[in-house]
Structures are given as C-alpha cells and as structure tokens.
C-alpha cells in the first residue's frame, strides 16, 4: 500500500485513541468500501471517542449506529464483508464480545476456506480490552487466548500509538478477518510520535522493543509498559533485558520468539489474562520444543490469577506488576 503522496501531517504526537481514530479516518479516505459500525459510534463518536468526527465527515451511510446486539454487529459485518465491503465493527468492550463468537468462529474465520476462495471475509472487529481503568464489572477482561485458538482469525494487539495506527491500517487492508484488541489502559496514557503514512505494519510479526542479552521479557498490549519498566529496573542492576512485543497472537511469529530465547536463554512471559490456558502456554510450549537446547532456566510466566478479573477495588492485586516481572526475571538468573 504505497502512496505517492503521503498524508502531509506525518509524524504527529498522538495518544493510542487518537491513533485509532486517525487510522479509521485515513482508511475510510483511502477506500470507500471501508464502513464502520457499532454501538454509539456515530453521533456519540464511541464511548471512548475512538470514532469521533467520522460521522461528520463520512455520513451515516458509512458510519452506522447499530441496534444493541453484538451478535448482530458481527453478523452484519460478515455479510457485508462477504460482498466486498470492508467493515470495521466496534464491540464496545471485550466483555460483551461473546455473543459474537459464533459469527467469528463459525463464519468469519471459515468463509474463505469453506468456499475454497469464492468468498472471503475482510472484516475487522475492534474491541477495547484489559484492566486498570477502574471500569465497571465485565469491562476489564483479557480473553485474547480464546480467539488466538481460532484458525483463520487474526488476533492483533497494539501496544503504542504508532503500532495502533500502523497495525489498524494493516488490519483494515488485510483480506482476512482480524480481531483488533485495543489496550484501553493505554488509550490516553501518553502522546507519542506517530507516522501517518500509508505503509501499514506487518500483521504477523513480533516487535523487538529493547535489545538485551540476559533475559527476554515477552508480552503484548498494555503489559508491554510493565515489561519495559521492569527492563529499566533490571538495567539499573546491570541486567540487560530484551523486550518483545508479540503484537500478533495469530498467526504467531515463532521465529522472533525462538531467536530471543536462543539468544538470552532466559524467558519471562507476561500477560494480564489468567495463567491456565493463557497464551503464554503456547509461547512456552513453542520455546520448549524449538529452543530447548538454548534455555538456561525454566520459563517464567507472570500472569493474572486463575479467577475472573476482579471488580476494580482489587484489580491492582490481580494485574501483573513491575515488581513481579523483575522478580521473575531474577528467578531465571539463578540458574
């Protein structure tokens, strides 16, 4: 997707929410088949304001407030995508996405395969996910592992404004269905420079955010910030941590993960979601299989506990902290 004339306002400071908004706007400008739909997204601009201003520019025709039914939103998107539109549907919170599972699993992820390429399903489902903003019940879950298990459904998670912009542009351009999970704790965390060009980021690559030789910290989404902070603390003690942002849970960039594990020999995987069946298990199994001879210590997993995401009074007890990550990294260094 190279454009002869990039947007003139390249590299502007944006927070993650603004980056999402700009990605939607630019994707809609670039391709008139891009439409967006969801609850409260048109006149209200989305409950987080991710779609603010889009109705004013593109009209109700391309910015659709739907009835309040997540299964309907997903079904509409599948139908639209099957006929060549590129719908970007917002599910208001990940905690409400489960009504849409049948459409995603049984239809979106399978349509190309089961018609042997006759039809395809180039949709994007956006959903804010994760905890840490003192939200109501059912508003703070991280159930990405459920979706990463579905063949044919790409699962993409940005961890910065720049990756939110680049990955969302890539997700919308992608001919496959993409679940785009937005770490809402980062929405307004900080403004960072974002290159607003038409060069989307690769959709199935992990990003190395910090190089180091002693231990690998592997994470995604909001937890990348805890991982980076842990790397800083470790650096103060002379421990060089490498930080990998997985970014795409499906398909998984196993090569980057194997390379970092082979390089450092020590691995800490961090996610907000519970331990049991968490996506760290897939990564750990990959490394146990393909990097075993390079591992110097057992793989550590720093995760949420095996309980439902607690209501916000206790969420800080649940979420992996910098201290837990640092301790886990030091644990691997005992070997």
Partner 1 sequence: MFTSTPYDMHHRLPDLPENTDWPRLVDGYRHMTLIRTFDKKAVNLQRTGKLGTYASCLGAEAIATAGGMALQDDDVFVPYYRDHATQYLRGVPLHLILQYWGGDERGNAFPADTPAARDLPNCVPIASQLTQAAGIATKAKLDHAKAAVLATCGDGATSRGDFHEALNVAGVWQLPLVVMVNNNQWAISVPRSLQTASDTIAQKAVAAGIEGFQVDGNDLPALLEAVDYALDKARHGKGATLIEAVSYRLSDHTTADDAGRYRKASDLHAAWQREPVARLRQALADAGHWDAEQETQWLAECQQRVDTAVETYLNQPPQAPTDMLDYLYAELPEALKPQRQRLLQQQPGDHHA
Residue in 13, 136, 175, 308 binding partner 1, rule: CB under 8 A: 175
Question: Within positions 81 to 120, which residues make up the interface with partner 1, using CB under 8 A?
Answer: 81-85, 87, 99, 102-103, 106-107, 112-120
Q: Is 139 part of the annotated catalytic residue set?
A: yes
Least spacing, CB of residue 205 vs partner 1, in Å: 9
Q: Which is nearer to partner 1, 101 or 189 (CB)?
A: 101
Closest CA to 22 of 134, 142, 158: 158
Bridge partners (DSSP) of residue 65 are 38
φ, ψ of residue 213 to 5 degrees: the values are -110, -15
319: contact with partner 1 by CB under 8 A: no
Closest CA to 215 of 159, 281, 271, 263: 263
Q: Which is nearer to partner 1, 10 or 115 (CB)?
A: 115
Q: Which is nearer to partner 1, 26 or 107 (CB)?
A: 107
Question: Within positions 209 to 268, which residues make up the interface with partner 1, using CB under 8 A?
Answer: 251-255
Angstrom CA distances, 223 to 49, 154, 230, 311, stand at 23, 20, 10, 19
Residue in 17, 28, 34, 35 binding partner 1, rule: CB under 8 A: 35
Least spacing, CB of residue 256 vs partner 1, in Å: 11
Least spacing, CB of residue 156 vs partner 1, in Å: 12
CA distance 113 to 294: 38
Cβ neighbours for 116, distance < 8 A, ≥ 6 positions apart: none
Write the binding mask 62 to 81 for partner 1: x where contact by CB under 8 A, - elsewhere.
x-x-xx-x-xx-xxxxxxxx
Q: Which is nearer to partner 1, 58 or 187 (CB)?
A: 58
Number of residues that bind partner 1 (CB under 8 A): 47
| SS3 state at 100 | helix
CA distance 246 to 286: 14
Span interacting with partner 1, options 14-22, 169-177, 234-242, 293-301, rule CB under 8 A: 169-177
Cβ neighbours for 203, distance < 8 A, ≥ 6 positions apart: 154, 156, 167, 170, 171, 174, 178, 248
Catalytic annotation, pick one of 26, 107, 139, 225: 139
Question: Within positions 286 to 305, which residues make up the interface with partner 1, using CB under 8 A?
Answer: none
- For residues 109 and 123, the answer to whether their CB atoms sit within 8 Å is no
Least spacing, CB of residue 33 vs partner 1, in Å: 9
The distance of Cα 226 from the centroid of its chain, to the nearest Å, equals 16
Peptide bond between residue 300 and the one before it cis (omega within 30 degrees of 0): no
Q: How many residues does the chain have?
A: 335
Q: Which is nearer to partner 1, 2 or 61 (CB)?
A: 61
Closest CA to 156 of 185, 139, 179, 173: 179
310: contact with partner 1 by CB under 8 A: no
CA distance 276 to 303: 9
Q: Which is nearer to partner 1, 90 or 226 (CB)?
A: 90
176: contact with partner 1 by CB under 8 A: yes
Q: Which is nearer to partner 1, 108 or 328 (CB)?
A: 108
Least spacing, CB of residue 27 vs partner 1, in Å: 17
Angstrom CA distances, 189 to 19, 20, 133, 235, 303, stand at 12, 14, 11, 24, 22
Residues contributing to the site for partner 1 (CB under 8 A): 35, 61-62, 64, 66-67, 69, 71-72, 74-85, 87, 99, 102-103, 106-107, 112-120, 151-152, 174-176, 204, 251-255
Active site residues: 139
């Amino acid at each position: 997707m190279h454009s002869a004339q990039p947007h003139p306002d390249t590299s502007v400071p944006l927070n993650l929410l603004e980056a999402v908004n700009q990605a939607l706007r630019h994707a809609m400008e670039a391709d008139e088949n891009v439409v967006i739909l969801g609850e409260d997204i048109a006149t209200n601009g989305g409950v987080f304001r991710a779609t603010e201003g889009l109705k004013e520019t593109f009209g109700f025709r391309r910015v659709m407030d739907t009835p309040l039914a997540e299964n309907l939103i997903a079904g509409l998107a599948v139908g639209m995508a099957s006929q060549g539109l590129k719908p970007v549907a917002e599910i208001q919170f990940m905690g409400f996405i489960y009504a849409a599972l049948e459409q995603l699993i049984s239809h979106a992820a399978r349509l190309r395969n089961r018609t042997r390429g006759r039809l395809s399903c180039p949709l994007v489902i956006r959903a804010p996910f994760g905890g840490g903003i003192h939200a109501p019940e059912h508003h703070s879950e991280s159930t990405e592992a459920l979706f990463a298990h579905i063949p044919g459904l790409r699962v993409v998670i940005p961890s910065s404004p720049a990756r939110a912009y680049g990955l969302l542009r890539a997700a919308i351009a992608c001919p496959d269905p993409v679940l785009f999970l937005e770490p809402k704790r980062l929405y307004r965390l900080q403004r960072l420079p974002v290159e607003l060009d038409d060069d989307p980021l690769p959709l199935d690559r992990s990003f190395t955010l910090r190089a180091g030789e002693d231990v690998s910290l592997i994470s995604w989404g909001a937890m990348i910030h805890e991982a980076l902070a842990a790397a800083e603390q470790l650096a103060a003690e002379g421990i060089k941590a490498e930080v990998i942002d997985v970014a795409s849970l499906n398909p998984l960039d196993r090569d980057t993960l194997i390379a970092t594990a082979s390089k450092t020999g020590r691995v800490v995987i961090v996610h907000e979601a519970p331990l049991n069946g968490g996506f760290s298990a897939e990564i750990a199994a990959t490394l146990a299989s393909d990097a075993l001879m390079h591992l110097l210590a057992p793989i550590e997993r720093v995760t949420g506990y095996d309980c439902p995401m607690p209501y916000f009074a206790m969420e800080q007890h649940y979420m992996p902290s910098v201290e837990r990550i640092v301790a886990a990294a030091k644990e691997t260094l005992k070997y």
